[in-house]
Amino acid sequence: MPAYWLLKTEPGEYSFDQLVVDRRTVWDGVANNLALKYLRNMKVGDKAFIYHTGTERAIVGIAEIISNPYRDPESKDPKRVVVNLKPDRKLPYPVPLSEIKNNKTFKDFDLVKLSRLSVMPVKNVYWHIILGMGGL
DNA sequence: GCCAACGTTGGC
DNA sequence: GCCAACGTTGGC
């Protein structure tokens, strides 16, 4: 069974739309230890929400993990790992952080509790509620 | 632009 | 190994 994740990105740096254009990308730049730990637990076939930080602050789309984690070839630090992604689909309606914060169902969601974490697991139940909120 | 919440660095 | 100082992230 695939696992579910959430990946944050500053859309001015790299957006979900850019992933759609690129067809696939290497998700690099993760330095935080907890985020790296989660990255190392990803497997081919897992799904991830793409969340835009900055002024957007919304979950905008779904990506699929298409490689297992591997050492970042661009980094000298052996702890750094990356995965390859491809776009799955865009959410018909982006799900804003404000809606997630306003819903107490999500009170234990890392997106709310650990605002600086850039890679996090998403519980099965959260995943499906967010899909519904996003129009899927 | 501010600042809370973290993470990192470096002196001791 | 502690912790003060500093840097960064990201929401507001």
Q: How far does the CA of A117 sit from the C1' of B6, in Å?
A: 10
Q: What pLDDT, on the 0 to 100 scale, is given for residue A76?
A: 80
Q: What pLDDT, on the 0 to 100 scale, is given for residue A26?
A: 96
pLDDT 10s digits, A25-81: 999 999 999 999 999 999 999 999 999 999 999 999 999 999 999 999 988 888 899
pTM here is 0.95
Quote the percentage of chain A above a pLDDT of 70: 100
Q: What is the 3-state secondary structure (H, E, C) of chain A?
A: CCCEEEEEECCCCCCHHHHHHHCCEEECCCCCHHHHHHHHCCCCCCEEEEEECCCCCEEEEEEEECCCCEECCCCCCCCCEEEEEEEEEEEEEEEEHHHHHHCHHHCCCHHHHCCCCCEEECCHHHHHHHHHHCCC
Confidence at A126, pLDDT banded by 50, 70, 90: very high
Q: What pLDDT, on the 0 to 100 scale, is given for residue A12?
A: 92
Number of domains within chain A: 1
The set of strand B positions with any atom below 7 Å of a protein CB reads 5-8
Q: Which domain holds residue A21?
A: 4-133
A134 pLDDT exceeds 90? yes
Question: How far is residue A72's CA from residue A56's CA, in Å, rounded to a whole number?
Answer: 28
Q: What pLDDT, on the 0 to 100 scale, is given for residue A86?
A: 98
Q: How far does the CA of A36 sit from the C1' of C1, in Å?
A: 25
Minimal CA–CA distance to A122: which of A42, A66, A56?
A42
Question: How far is residue A98's CA from residue A28's CA, in Å, rounded to a whole number?
Answer: 27
Residues 12-31/A with CB within 7 Å of nucleic chain B are 31
A16 pLDDT exceeds 90? yes
Look up the CATH number of the domain holding residue A125: 3.10.590.10
Q: What pLDDT, on the 0 to 100 scale, is given for residue A56?
A: 95
pLDDT 10s digits, A92-108: 999 999 999 999 999 99
The answer to whether A32 CB sits below 7 Å from nucleic acid chain B is: yes
